[in-house]
Amino acid sequence: EVQLLESGGGLVQPGESLRLSCAATGFTFSNYGMDWVRQAPGKGLEWVSAISGTGGTTYYTDSVKGRFTISRDNSKNTLYLQMSSLRVEDTAVYYCAKVVWRQIFDIWGQGTMVTVSS
């Protein structure tokens, strides 16, 4: 069964850092692009970042450029999101999502909550 399991969320203060992980099982991880999508409480979906199957190409939404870094370890079937200089507006559930092709997401993790508050 194809599964994605996020971890690493929590409560941090503004300006602090956090690293999210997404463990993938049930498919050949390195063959697929992966993305992070977030959802603030009671709000809609917001795309955050994408990475190619090899990890050689990455994309970010403007609001996180220079603060977040997406990466992957294909030997561990794990996707990461390193988040620094966190802001209150980064508070959200962060989902990792598998790209079936183009940038269409066929599998989503259950999400991990990140709360940025003083």
Partner 1 sequence: EIVMTQSPATLSVSPGERATLSCRASQSVKNNLAWYQQKPGQTPRLLISDASTRATGIPARFSGSGSGTEFTLTISSLQSEDFVVYYCQQYDSWPLTFGGGTKVEIK
Binding site for partner 1 (CB under 8 A): 35, 44-47, 50, 59-62, 95, 100, 102-106, 108-111
Min CB(72)–partner 1 separation in Å: 18
Residue 59 C-beta: closest distance to partner 1, Å: 5
Token pair of 23, please?
């463990």
Nearest of 30, 33, 10 to residue 94 by alpha carbon: 10
Beta carbon nearer to partner 1, 59 or 74: 59
The answer to whether residues 114 and 90 touch, using CB atoms and an 8 Å cutoff, is yes
Decide: 20 and 2 in contact? Cβ < 8 Å: no
Nearest residue (CB) to partner 1, 80 versus 95: 95
Smallest distance from partner 1 to CB 48, Å: 9
Cβ nearer to partner 1, comparing 23 with 45? 45
**Beta carbons within 10 angstroms of residue 69's beta carbon:** 16
